[in-house]
Amino acid sequence: IKAMKSAIAIFGPPSRLIADQGRCFASKEFKEFCAKHQIDLHLIATGASRANGQVERTMSVLTNMLTVTELGERTWQEALGDVQLAMNCTINRITKSSPLELMIGKIIKPIAMITPSDEIVQSEIDREAARQQASQNMIKSAAYSKTRFDRTKAEVKLHSIGDLGRDS
């Protein structure tokens, strides 16, 4: 709840929260907190991580990045802010924008990535246009993924009452 309060203070409450059946999410206190803030809490089935694929993917990337930082001289706690900034500034293959561009309408570059040859350019973007383009890109990608998935599935044959069938 403490982490949710911090996020709400910055971004406002989300309209929906998808979480696993962990004790912290399934507790009466957390459910009441969500109801108070008008957050639609959707608990997914245990072991059905595919139902929360976006989070699973993000956590996989985050875990890998933090593991790499632990190989260096910093702890994961020390590196977390830099890793978060890197993830939020990385352009997504599907949306063609970074999460920060879509959220705040600015192109952000981590300090470590700025070189002396970089020109100072206007970093403002048309956020609404970027969001619309990202949405179209996601719809197109989802349709492509569905087509690819469906190619491997058997064709469904519809039957009517009276059709003859065969027991296997």
Residue 79 contacts residue 66 (beta carbons within 8 Å)? yes
- Which amino acid would we find at residue 50? R
Within a domain: 42: yes
- Which amino acid would we find at residue 72? G
Domain range for 20 is 1-47
If DSSP codes are grouped into helix, strand and coil, which group holds residue 43? strand
Within a domain: 96: no
Within a domain: 14: yes
Helix axes 53-71, 76-89, angle to 10 degrees: 130
- Region of poorest pLDDT, from 46-50, 54-58, 89-93: 46-50
Q: Please say if the pLDDT value at position 69 is more than 60.
A: yes
pLDDT in tens, 149-168: 888 887 777 888 887 766 54
Within a domain: 18: yes
Within a domain: 77: no
Is the full-model pTM beyond 0.75?
A: no
Q: Please say if the pLDDT value at position 117 is more than 90.
A: no
Q: Please say if the pLDDT value at position 146 is more than 90.
A: no
Q: Please say if the pLDDT value at position 106 is more than 70.
A: yes
**Alpha-carbon Rg for the chain in angstroms:** 22
pLDDT in tens, 14-48: 999 988 888 899 999 999 999 999 999 999 887 66
Number of independent structural domains in the chain? 1
